[in-house]
Chains A and B, each alone.
Chain A
Amino acid sequence: MIRSFRALLIRDLKLAARVGGSGMMGLVFFLAIVTLMPFALGPDLNLLSRIGPAILWIAALLATLIGLDRLFQADQEDGSLDLLRLAPVPMEVVVVAKVTAHWLVTGLPLAIAAPFLGLLVALSPEAIGAMVATLLVGTPALTFVGAVGAALTASLRRGGLILAILVLPFMIPTLIFGVSAANAALGGTVPFATPFLILVALSLFAAVVGTVGAAAALRSGE
Chain B
Amino acid sequence: MVRMIRSFPRRMIGQPFRRTRWNTRGATSECRIVEGSPGCDALRLSEIVIQPVAIRALQAGLETAKSTSMILDLANPTRFMSFSGRLLPWLIGASVVLLGIGLAMVWFVAPADYQQGETVKIMYLHVPAAWLSLFFYVTMAASALGTLVWRHPLADVSQKAAAPIGAAFTLICLVTGSLWGKPMWGTYWQWDARLTSMLVMFLIYAGILALWRAIEEPNRAARAVSILTLVGAVNVPIVKFSVDWWNTLHQPASVFRLGGPTIHSSMLVPLLVMAVAFTLIGVSLHLSGMRTEILRRRVRTLTILEAERLDAQAA
Contacts and interface: CB of A to CB of B under 8 A. Distances in A.
Nearest to A153: B214
Interface of B: 148, 196, 200, 203-204, 206-207, 210-211, 214-215, 220, 223-224, 227-228, 230-232, 234-235
Interface residues of A, number: 19
Q: Is the interface of A mostly helix, strand, loop or mixed?
A: helix
A118 B235 CA distance: 33
Contact of A221 (B210, B224, B228): B224
Given A148-B227, A162-B207, A172-B200, 18 more contacts: A148-B228, A152-B224, A153-B211, A159-B214, A162-B210, A162-B211, A162-B214, A165-B206, A165-B210, A166-B211, A166-B228, A169-B200, A169-B203, A169-B204, A170-B204, A170-B232, A220-B223, A220-B224
Interface in A200-222: 209, 213, 216-217, 220-221
Interface of A: 148, 152-153, 155-156, 159, 162, 165-166, 168-170, 172, 209, 213, 216-217, 220-221
B48 to A, nearest CB: 18
Q: Give the interface centre of B231, B234, B235 by most chain A CB atoms within 10 Å.
A: B231
Contacts of B148: 216, 220
Q: Is the interface of B mostly helix, strand, loop or mixed?
A: helix
B210 A152 contact: no
A216 B227 contact: yes
20 contacts: A148-B228, A152-B211, A152-B224, A153-B211, A156-B214, A162-B207, A162-B210, A165-B206, A166-B228, A169-B204, A169-B232, A170-B232, A213-B227, A213-B230, A217-B224, A220-B223, A220-B224, A220-B227, A221-B223, A221-B224
A162 B212 CA distance: 11
Given A152-B211, A216-B227, A168 B203 contact: yes
Contacts of B206: 165
A202 to B, nearest CB: 11
Contacts of A209: 231, 234
A148 B204 CA distance: 14
Contacts of A172: 196, 200
Contacts of A148: 227-228, 231
B194 to A, nearest CB: 14
